[in-house]
Amino acid sequence: MTPVQQQDFLQHLESQQRKDSLAMYNNLVFRCFDECSKSFRSKRLDDGETKCINVCAEKYIKLTSRVALRFQDIQQQKAKDEAAGVQR
């Protein structure tokens, strides 16, 4: 790959990562808001809503991290399996 192609690829990768991060953040906001905000009697969240949102966000972040780690494990195993298949 030429240096220009590498630069283009890195810019595209960075842009995609930003889009993915924003999509994950938006999904987190929608999920936790829908689950935790039940009434609009005040412009501020009450203590129960705040706690619910904190727990929801923490669970979502942990789940997302776990899925990413598991995906990485699977990809590494596939690469090992393919390398072993090539060596045979």
Q: Scanning the structure block, which residue is given the tokens 């789940």? A: 63
In order of their start, the domains of the chain are 3-87 (1.10.287.810)
- Residue 69 phi, psi dihedral angles, 5° rounding: -65, -40
The reported pLDDT for the residue numbered 38 is: 84
Mean pLDDT along residues 62-80: 94
Contact 16/37 with Cβ under 8 angstroms? no
Judged against a pLDDT cut of 60, whether residue 10 lies above it is answered with yes
| Confidence category of residue 87, pLDDT binned at 50, 70, 90 | low
Token readout for 9 is: 């690829």
Q: What number of other Cβ atoms are within 10 A of residue 32's Cβ?
A: 20
Q: What is the C-alpha separation between 16 and 14, in angstroms, rounded?
A: 5
Per residue in 14-23, pLDDT (tens digit) is 999 999 999 9
The reported pLDDT for the residue numbered 88 is: 57
pTM for the full model?
Answer: 0.68
The reported pLDDT for the residue numbered 39 is: 85
